[in-house]
Amino acid sequence: MLKIGIIGATGYAGGELVRLLLGHKEAEIVWYGSRSYVDQKYASIYQNMFQIVENTCLDDNMEAMAEQVDVIFTATPQGLCASLVNEDILNKVKIVDLSADFRIKDVKVYEKWYGIEHKSPQYIQEAVYGLCEVNREAVKKARLVANPGCYPTCSFLSVYPLVKEGLIDPNTLIIDAKSGTSGAGRGAKVDNLFCEVNENIKAYGVAGHRHTPEIEEQLSRAAKEPVLINFTPHLVPMQRGILVTAYASLKREISYEEVKAVYDRYYNKETFVRVLEKDVCPQTRWVEGSNFVDVNFKIDPRTRRIVMMGAMDNLVKGAAGQAVQNMNLMFGIEEAEGLRMAPVFP
């Protein structure tokens, strides 16, 4: 059994990690880390875990944790993992970081967009960007994995095959994304109060959302050229889910069958990416509570553009599920272990 430590176990992503790992046949959580709830029963914070989890929350002492576990998940705000990790810890355990600390390879770009100084830039190049469908073999050999962001995961998987194959002009790419409120975390914020969110939809981070450079970096790698995009996220009155609608110009006339063949070639063998049937648009309700990403596309011959769509659960494939998927690869466990649950409906 793998022994698991979680720093940030009482946030939404941390709570989802707990839920998933409790159903994992080869994992045991031994350290529920939470700076805010030290010495409190975990089930008193998440009552859904009553009589399921008997553990008490511990602190976020990564060095002490590394003596007791095989893998550490850091489900924390930006900056914490980078401030704690060191060579001694990485020689003892593997780390899956759910923050943005090691996703962006240019430390100056990270510091500009996140507004903080990076505390351990020496590990940025080593860290593997943990998008399993693209970097599977590198993840298997990693000791530090940067778990991708929720918006970047859904955005990238929705458009990746066409960017990689050079069928669209990536610099014409516009990504419109919508997320439920859990994407903002569990902290108390006026903008996330029920009366602020209910019966409302709004754009935010317009022309400046911090996931933009992460999406651009990964698309640039796929396109083998620098890519600049317009990315606009929106907050919608639901708890979970991300819906991406992306638009780009086609480089040539192309048929539905050709595009479908490209998506199938990239995703047919992927357990968690589902290419939908013709004219079926992804919906968040079809992936809720699961590690699946549903993708599809629609060609608009009138404008010679293509619309690419994706839907996923921001807390599962967008955070905790993808982290477990990465852990499985890092330790040679069957990739879908602990992640086989069907989406919740309705």
Largest Cα separation within the chain, whole Å, is 62
SS (H, E, C) 92-128: CCEEEECCCCCCCCCHHHHHHHHCCCCCCHHHCCCCE
CB atoms within 10 A of CB 342: 8
SS (H, E, C) the chain: CEEEEEECCCCHHHHHHHHHHCCCCCEEEEEEECCCCCCCEHHHHCHHHCCCCCCECECCCHHHHHCCCCEEEECCCCCHHHHHCCHHHHCCCEEEECCCCCCCCCHHHHHHHHCCCCCCHHHCCCCEECCHHHHHHHHHCCCEEECCCHHHHHHHHHHHHHHHCCCECHHHCEEEEEECHHHHCCCCCHHHCHHHHCCCCEECCCCCCCCHHHHHHHHHHHHCCCCCCEEEEEECCCCCCEEEEEEEEECCCCCHHHHHHHHHHHHCCCCCEEECCCCCCCCHHHCCCCCCEEEEEEEECCCCEEEEEEEECCCHHHHHHHHHHHHHHHCCCCCCCCCCCCCCCC
The residues annotated with a catalytic role in the active site are: 150
Beta bridge partners of 250: 168
